[in-house]
Structure 1
Amino acid sequence: MTYCHSKYQHLKPQINAFVKDFESKGDAVTVGQRNVIKSFEVDGVKLNIKSFKKPNAFNSFIYKWIRLSKAKRSFNYASRLIDCDISTPFPIAYIEETSFFGLKNSYYISEHIDYDFEFRALIHNPKFPDRALLLKQFAEFTFKLHQNNINFLDHSPGNTLILKTDKGYKFYLIDLNRMRFENMTFDKRMHNFRRMWLSKTMIKVIAKKYAELYNKPYQEIHDVMLKHSMAFQHKINRKKLRRSGRKMQFGTK
């Protein structure tokens, strides 16, 4: 089953052809253990096709009969973001290949974005040009998400693309299939920053701007954001240490 946005109905035959030849054609954008993204071009439109990993038998049944597939969720969530004036690559289509027993393969198709860098560039380079300005604008971008009751569960450094334009910087969200649309309490808002791997200096800048927008004391914003960020980073670092310890034990046997 192929569902195309009304704006792109005319591309439906070509999109189906791209998916049919997905293994052998297209330019690789991302090749991961779970998902593969390739770019194609048709009628002057460059698009990305994301092929999701084939689900196991249990999830196959779930995605067919109980829960929306990752492809359909990505399409729906992108549409909702755009309705809220939050930038994401425009959703063109999604495809689900099913049998009676469940979902076999699924694909999400969106417009290709020629971005300049990911948010992670700000983490690895403290002297990144316009870093303070970008952090303030990122605070505004995330605040807008929260004001629209959007809890982006994969809010992480690689999932925010940044494009430099004549009018300044523009932020795009990607990898959208994990979201909740719920009332964003103060603690949920601060908790939502935890995966961004913010340094203490970055937190100071972001917290100051967020406090201005949220009309809440800076110190309270800073302290709770710092608490959640440090707890997450310590948790991940402990996991890395445990894994490296197991590898060392295995290597000595």
Structure 2
Amino acid sequence: MKIILNPKYKEQEKAIIQLVTSFFEEGNLIVKGSRNTIKSNFLGSEKVNIKFFKKPGIFKSIIYSFFRSTKAKRSFDYANYLTNHNILTPQPIAYIEERSVFGLLGDSFYISQQIDYDFTIRELIHNPLFPNRNSILEQFAEFTFKMHEANVNFLDHSPGNTLIVDKENNQFEFYLIDLNRMKFEKLSIEKRMDNFKKMWLSRTMIKVVAKKYAKLIGQPEEKIHTILLEKTLQFKRRITKKKYLKRKLKK
């Protein structure tokens, strides 16, 4: 077993290992997937999030063991990168990898701070009358701009992967989660707008986001709006087509 710790949690190494050892018997289930499972538990008095990555198949095990960082390691490293650039994400605590005698990856875990959030972008999409909707969207655009300025291309920038905390007085905090798919690169305007496409924004929401982002980046609003709208529509058309073809094949 390999464990890498956030230095702040060095004194709690044994307790962290115990959380992983008892993962399947203890804790509160948050997500149960075919490959990943997420639970919450307590590390002392602190509520933490434990993400379990199931042992990959032999081919992927070889890739992750010798040629590419594991999902757990990427989650930990990327969280540290975001934190170092003042981009909010649940504080990384540790990652743990189990390996065979041949060095092949088995199960792995990523442990982070648990964020008690109020909602995600998904709620805004489904409810046009969501309180302070435009203000939240403007602050979300500012958050994403800050991320882009730090050369972060978050490939899973989708409605459920940003947790939002209502700080009251019309102020909101945004926390990125599900971090293991990122690129770190200088982003053109095209790439920046492309990064919004999975958010599934409505035309009304696009107008709000484009206006705020254009002001932040110092570009004409019409230009940003046109690119963002086209990127979003292309993505929606592609997903809709895929769903249509799947239904046809099932018949």
Q: TM-score range by the shorter chain?
A: over 0.9
Match 2:114 to one of 112, 115, 127: 112
Residue identity over aligned pairs, in percent, reads: 52
Matched with 1:179 is 182
3-state DSSP class of the match of 2:160? helix
3-state DSSP class of the match of 1:158? coil
1:146 aligns with 2:148: yes
3-state DSSP class of the match of 1:28? strand
Matched with 1:137 is 139
1:191 aligns with 2:194: yes
Q: Indicate conservation of the 8 Å contact 1:90/1:110, yes or no.
A: yes
Q: Indicate conservation of the 8 Å contact 1:47/1:109, yes or no.
A: yes
**Whole-angstrom CA distance in 1 between matches of 2:54 and 2:129:** 38
**Whole-angstrom CA distance in 2 between matches of 1:183 and 1:23:** 41
**Whole-angstrom CA distance in 2 between matches of 1:163 and 1:108:** 22
Matched with 1:66 is 67
1:241 aligns with 2:244: yes
Q: Deviation digits for residues 176-213 of structure 1, max 9, x if unmatched?
A: 00000001111100100000000000000000000000
**Whole-angstrom CA distance in 1 between matches of 2:67 and 2:237:** 36
**Whole-angstrom CA distance in 1 between matches of 2:227 and 2:54:** 36
- Letter paired with 1:35: N
- Letter paired with 1:144: K
**Whole-angstrom CA distance in 1 between matches of 2:199 and 2:54:** 25
**Whole-angstrom CA distance in 2 between matches of 1:24 and 1:41:** 14
Matched with 1:34 is 35
CA RMSD of aligned residues (A): 0.9
Q: What is the count of residue pairs matched by the alignment?
A: 248
Q: CA deviation at 1:166?
A: 4.0
Q: Indicate conservation of the 8 Å contact 1:54/1:105, yes or no.
A: yes
Matched with 2:88 is 87
Unaligned runs of 5+ in 1: none
Q: Indicate conservation of the 8 Å contact 1:60/1:101, yes or no.
A: no
Matched with 2:129 is 127
- Letter paired with 1:106: S
Q: CA deviation at 1:101?
A: 4.6
**Whole-angstrom CA distance in 2 between matches of 1:120 and 1:33:** 23
Q: CA deviation at 1:34?
A: 2.1
Matched with 1:204 is 207
- Letter paired with 1:175: D
**Whole-angstrom CA distance in 1 between matches of 2:172 and 2:143:** 11
- Letter paired with 1:220: K
Q: Indicate conservation of the 8 Å contact 2:54/2:106, yes or no.
A: no
Matched with 2:51 is 50
Q: CA deviation at 1:42?
A: 2.4
If the length of structure 1 is used for normalisation, what is the TM-score? 0.96
Unaligned runs of 5+ in 2: none
Q: 1:166 to 1:200 in 2, by over 3 A?
A: closer
- Letter paired with 2:18: A
3-state DSSP class of the match of 1:157? coil
**Whole-angstrom CA distance in 1 between matches of 2:57 and 2:103:** 12
